[in-house]
Structure 1
Amino acid sequence: MKCATSASMDLLLARFLQCGTWAACALIGAGLFFDTKALSAGVALFILLPVLRVVVMLAVFAQQRNYLYVTIAATVLAVIAAGCVIGLRLAPLAG
């Protein structure tokens, strides 16, 4: 039963990343022809896709009540958030 759950999560993540990649590509393509805001949104989506993947994994693990992996995914998100906060705080020092 564990393999079926793992396979379904792999399929969910694969579809999520595939759709996200296509959406980001479409935004970048639209940005090349119409608007730099769309281009920026596409690049931002490419940057956010790995973070969103961890969020999806956290939700799936929580639904499965797999608390060890919920804790690991939450820790990864906390490290990412801490890195963003530190980066924003140190940005003025970089010039």
Structure 2
Amino acid sequence: MKNAMPRTLDRLLASFLQCGTWAACALIGAGLFVGTKVLTAGVALFILLPVLRVVLMLAVFARRRDYLYVTIAATVLAVIAAGCVIGIRLGPLAG
């Protein structure tokens, strides 16, 4: 069963990223005709896809009770969150 886990997770992540990429492309394409808010949503989705990937991995590992990888994924999310908070706080200083 352990050998099947990486293949299943790889396929799940590949499908998730493929659908997310198509959705982001569709939003950007629609945004060219509809307006900048839709276009911005597509760009934001492209930016969020890697973060959502880590969230998906965290959920899969938690469901499988693989606590080492849950801890790793949670740590990665904490680092991303800390980077966002620091970026928001220092944003006015950098400009």
> TM-score, normalised to structure 2's length?
0.98
Identity %: 81
How far apart are 1:89 and its partner, in Å?
Answer: 0.1
How many residue pairs get matched? 95
Within 5 Å, which residues of 2 pair with 1:1-95?
Answer: 1-95=1-95
Supply the distance in 2 between the matched residues of 1:21 and 1:3 (Cα, whole angstroms): 28
Which 5+ residue runs of structure 2 have no aligned equivalent? Answer: none
RMSD: 0.6
How far apart are 1:35 and its partner, in Å?
Answer: 1.0
Query: Structure 2 counterpart of 1:26, which letter?
Result: A
Which 5+ residue runs of structure 1 have no aligned equivalent? Answer: none
Which SS does the other structure have where 2:3 is aligned? helix
Deviating above 2 A after TM superposition, structure 1's stretches of 4 or more consecutive aligned residues are none
How far apart are 1:88 and its partner, in Å?
Answer: 0.1
> TM-score, normalised to structure 1's length?
0.98
How far apart are 1:40 and its partner, in Å?
Answer: 0.2
